[in-house]
Amino acid sequence: MDRGDGMRLVLHLRELHALADAERAAGRRIALVPTMGALHAGHASLCELARRHADRVWVSIFVNPAQFDDPGDLERYPRDLAGDLERCRRAGVDLVFAPDVAELYPPGAQTWVEVGELSRGLCGASRPGHFRGVATVVAKLLLAAKPHVAVFGAKDFQQLAVVRRLARDLCLDVEIVGAPIVREADGLALSSRNARLDPRSRREALCLSRALDAAERAVAAGERSTARLLALARSELAGARGAELDYAELRDPETLAPAGEALVGPALLALAVRFRTPDAAVRLIDNRVLVPEAPERVAPAREA
């Protein structure tokens, strides 16, 4: 339906298919920004990046039940479709696809998409089935919207890696673009889950960016030991009251394989911590790619 403000709201796959076909036939490029709603400035930055890659910016809003391992977490996930539509309008989005669950998971649905090694470890270890749900819904959205480009935030680094692998392995005609993490002024990475933090846990959540900063400073000062860098990060996280560490790991940014004993190139420092609130624990993730500087080359001595 046309909302009268230049932004179209689509609820059904059949309409989305027809619109995608029409845009492609007209030679216009489509960029899709998949979201689960509860939109914030970080999502607006994804839309801005999408606009630089395409003629049309489409946003999907769908809280995907298949990627939640905890029914309570799914129930508590923030939802505000009216507010999200207004944020999309302000961001200049052309179309919002907001289907209900039955539209993407019809009765009797039994088909799943899994990305093997990249889905193991990190969030995949503590959230069984999470990336199967992510891969499945992303595949559905890419097939439904037929975008030329799809934009995902780098805060969910493992998810971005999974989606890139999925697009390559399934030979999908889409470019996957990663967008930089957007942070609050005090360093906290923007997340829809931040809305569930109470004032105390919001302050404690800054331990994530402090841990990343400490590790980055250590690498800049010459530290290369994986064990010492992880100990430094975990020490910062341990200083937060009511925080429970899920993981703090150093991984290869391309393969997500565990880093070696010493950094010899870029390494992903990935963190996940649960913060206790009066209602329930809120799990936040953050990451940074640590890049050790190459040693300066010493000019060979000239012969006398």
Task: Please state the domain count of the chain.
Answer: 2
* Gap between the Cα atoms of 229 and 165, Å rounded: 29
Q: Which range is least confidently modeled, 69-73, 176-180, 284-288?
A: 69-73
Task: Residue 198: give its domain's CATH number.
Answer: 3.30.1300.10
Q: Are residues 160 and 12 in the same domain?
A: yes
Contacting residues for 286 by C-beta, under 8 A, at least 6 apart: 155, 181, 189, 208, 209, 212, 270, 271
**Start-to-end Cα distance in the chain:** 82
* Gap between the Cα atoms of 271 and 273, Å rounded: 7
267-276/281-290 β-pairing: antiparallel
pLDDT per residue as tens digits for the range 6-38: 899 999 999 999 999 999 999 999 999 999 999
Specify if 299 maps to a domain: no
Higher pLDDT, 142 or 297: 142
Q: Are residues 139 and 201 in the same domain?
A: no
Q: Which residue has the tokens 């692998």?
A: 165
Please indicate whether residue 43 is annotated as part of the active site: yes
| Final residue in a domain of this structure, among 152, 179, 206 | 179
Q: Give residue 5's pLDDT.
A: 59
pLDDT per residue as tens digits for the range 204-229: 999 999 999 999 999 999 999 999 99
- Residue 50 in contact with residue 36, Cβ under 8 Å? no
Range 185-209 average pLDDT: 96
Q: Are residues 12 and 117 in the same domain?
A: yes
Q: Are residues 98 and 220 in the same domain?
A: no
CA 191 to chain centroid, in Å, comes to: 9
**Number of continuous H segments (helices) and E segments (strands) in the chain:** 11, 9
Catalytic residue, candidates 17, 40, 43, 130:
43
Q: Are residues 116 and 42 in the same domain?
A: yes
* Gap between the Cα atoms of 120 and 126, Å rounded: 9
Q: Are residues 29 and 152 in the same domain?
A: yes
Specify if 272 maps to a domain: yes
Task: Residue 108: give its domain's CATH number.
Answer: 3.40.50.620
Q: Are residues 125 and 158 in the same domain?
A: yes
Specify if 46 maps to a domain: yes
Higher pLDDT, 184 or 4: 184
| Final residue in a domain of this structure, among 153, 179, 205 | 179
Q: Are residues 220 and 271 in the same domain?
A: yes
Q: Which range is least confidently modeled, 120-134, 214-228, 260-274, 288-302?
A: 288-302
Q: Which domain holds residue 198?
A: 192-289
Specify if 187 maps to a domain: no
Specify if 298 maps to a domain: no
- Residue 98 in contact with residue 61, Cβ under 8 Å? yes
Q: Give residue 4's pLDDT.
A: 47
Q: Give residue 279's pLDDT.
A: 85
Q: Are residues 160 and 201 in the same domain?
A: no
Q: Give residue 265's pLDDT.
A: 97
Closest to 101 in 3D by CA, of 54, 50, 140: 140
Specify if 44 maps to a domain: yes
Specify if 185 maps to a domain: no
pLDDT per residue as tens digits for the range 244-269: 999 999 999 999 999 999 999 999 99
| Final residue in a domain of this structure, among 158, 179, 200 | 179
Range 55-83 average pLDDT: 95
Q: Are residues 208 and 254 in the same domain?
A: yes
